[in-house]
Amino acid sequence: MVLMPSRTKYRKRQKGKCSHLATSGCFIEFGEFGMQSLGRGWITSQQIEACRVTISRCFSRKGKVWIRIFPDKPISKKPAETRMGKGKGSPSIWVNVTRPGKILFEVGNVSKEEARKALRLAAAKLPVKTRFVERVERV
Question: Alpha-carbon distance 123 to 80, whole Å?
Answer: 31
Answer yes or no: is pLDDT of 1 > 90. no
Mean pLDDT of 2-15: 94
Mean pLDDT of the chain: 95
Question: Alpha-carbon distance 45 to 49, whole Å?
Answer: 6
| 44-55 tens-digit pLDDT | 999 999 999 999
Share of the chain above pLDDT 70, in %: 99
| Correct CATH for 33-75+91-134 of 3.90.78.10, 3.30.465.10, 3.90.1170.10, 3.40.50.720 | 3.90.1170.10
pTM value > 0.75: yes
- Give the up-direction half-sphere exposure of residue 133: CA atoms within 13 A in the CB hemisphere: 22
Question: Residue ranges per domain, the chain?
Answer: 33-75+91-134
Distance linking the first and last C-alpha atoms of the chain: 38
